[in-house]
Amino acid sequence: MRTHLSRDTGSEGPKHDPYSYTRITFERGSRIITMHNGLGQFIILNGVRIDPPDYVRMCKKCTNRWLEHMWQKYTDLTVAQTERALHKIEDPPRCTKCGSKSLHWVSGYPGETLKVCYKCDAIVASHLNMSAIE
């Protein structure tokens, strides 16, 4: 059974005072788990939002521990393992076309950065910074 792991970032809250958030989504079979870490911290399990209990929300450190515990409970991965896997996915060490390790970052359109292979000129990864163009 294949596992799909992805990260989504953005901003939430009022336009005059936005907050950044990170959502990590784990999919395996029919199970979809999303960890939302931003202005609000919660888990979404197959479309159902699970919020931390009131006694946990009183301190940020407790909420972070609760979030990490729930993530590990439903995915069997620690947050550190998830971050390492996402880093490998988002920033591959080799060219996916020719297998070369000779990669370099170049600028594309405004706000866009591309990771390109020296040998075959394939685009291996890209990052888009929306704040650079807004």
61 SS3 class: helix
Domain ranges of the chain: 3-90, 103-132
pTM of the model: 0.70
Q: How is 79-116 classified by DSSP, letter by letter?
A: HHHHHHHHHHHHS-SS-TTT--S-EEEEE-STTEEEEE
Is residue 134 over pLDDT 70? no
Higher-scoring residue by pLDDT: 60, 102: 102
Q: Tens digits of per-residue pLDDT, 15-25?
A: 888 888 899 99
Give the mean model confidence (pLDDT) for residues 53-69. Answer: 86
Place of tokens 């990590």: 24
Buried b (16+ CB within 10 A) or exposed e, 112-124: eebbbbeeeeeeb
